[in-house]
Amino acid sequence: MSKQVRVLVTGAGGFIGHHLTKYLVEHGYWVRGVDIKEPEYEPTPADEFSLLDLTRWENCLQATEGVDEVYGLAANMGGIGFIENHKAEIVRDNTLMNLQSIEAARANGVKRYLYTSSACIYPGYLQDKTDVTPLREEDAYPADAEDGYGWEKLYMERVCRHYTEDFGLDTRVVRFHNIFGPLGTYDGGREKSPAAICRKVALASGDDEIEVWGDGEQTRSYCYIDDCVEGIYRLMRSDHRDPINLGQDRMISINELVDIVSCIAGKTICKRYDLTKPQGVRGRNSDNTRLREVLKWEPQISLEEGLDRTYRWIADQLQGHVDRAVAVPMTVTS
């Protein structure tokens, strides 16, 4: 019988890390999950789960001990509102945890290390109009990454390359483009646009208006979580070491996103624009040529299908809060 592969998922209490943990356990891996918090919405299926702060060296050593592979998903991050307003905190925490995690993996003889980068590494000058050309991996240079969060990601991509070339640690680097789905943060300030819009639409009554950041004409592509996890796994199993995009290549505006979610909810929603709120780059889309070539695969789940599942999950969560709020006083008075 072949030996069971032992893997570490960092950030296993977070959105993508939790989904990935479920996928890997289902595929027969022994999984250690590490995070500073447990998954918020359901228990982890990890074989072992440790609450560890990976900005500390001794915790990185403990986390990477005795595993064959590391999936590095831990990060201090959030949507555009969060990353534009917490640059020092993001750069400090992510530099500490990523650099120490990869060094600890090397010191512990880990064979393969996956680093989760972002479309935020792409230069601002290629994303200044709504009908932007999809971004190819080689467009990353000359660099002009998203201030703070994006520069740290770009730097860590290079660290991975150096660790492969100089230390022989096999690395994979994936650049996510707006991943969304159930079990993702939908309130509290760190949520991304699809979850925020689902929440606002779910809370709105029939013909209410919701607030949209900017003029709503900014464009993005969105990738459903199940496709993201499948792509991560295929990349880890491939022999491709250079950075690769993982996203959908259907670009839509935020206004269109609101309209799709409103349609799913069966509501007529008006938009109120707040031009003072952060919007990020004007347009962004993923060029998936390399993804198709390398993985012989591309994301399968349509935006409508993914948003339908996500909207229903968020609406259920919000309904659960209402039910609990109603139930509490009844319990007290009875």
Catalytic (active-site) positions: 149
195 versus 269: smaller Cβ distance to ligand NAD: 195
Examine residue 11 and tell whether it contacts ligand NAD (CB under 6 A): yes
How many angstroms separate the Cα of 130 from the Cα of each of 120, 127, 196? 16, 8, 21
Q: How far is the CB of 175 from ligand NAD (least distance, A)?
A: 7
Strand positions, DSSP E, the chain? 6-10, 30-35, 48-51, 69-72, 112-118, 170-176, 179-180, 209-213, 219-221, 223-224, 244-246, 251-253, 270-274
Examine residue 38 and tell whether it contacts ligand NAD (CB under 6 A): no
Examine residue 15 and tell whether it contacts ligand NAD (CB under 6 A): yes
Tokens standing for 66? 């005795």
Report the C-alpha gap between 163 and 104 in whole angstroms: 12
In 3-state terms the chain splits into helix, strand, coil percentages (rounded to 5) of 45, 20, 35
For ligand NAD, which residue of 21, 44, 64, 76 counts as binding (CB under 6 A)? 76
How many angstroms separate the Cα of 269 from the Cα of each of 184, 205, 217, 259, 274? 23, 8, 17, 8, 16
33 versus 214: smaller Cβ distance to ligand NAD: 33
Examine residue 97 and tell whether it contacts ligand NAD (CB under 6 A): yes
Examine residue 54 and tell whether it contacts ligand NAD (CB under 6 A): yes
247 versus 269: smaller Cβ distance to ligand NAD: 247
For ligand NAD, which residue of 178, 288, 310, 317 counts as binding (CB under 6 A)? 178
Please report, as residue ranges, which positions from 183 to 222 form the binding site for ligand NAD (by CB under 6 A): 192
Task: Supply the DSSP symbol for 274.
Answer: E
- Residues 283 and 131: beta-carbon distance below 8 Å: yes
For ligand NAD, which residue of 7, 25, 73, 202 counts as binding (CB under 6 A)? 73
Examine residue 23 and tell whether it contacts ligand NAD (CB under 6 A): no
Tokens standing for 177? 């483009």
Residue whose beta carbon is closest to ligand NAD? 14
User: Applying CB under 6 A, which residues contact ligand NAD?
Assistant: 11, 13-17, 35-37, 53-55, 73-77, 93, 97, 116, 118, 176, 178-179, 192
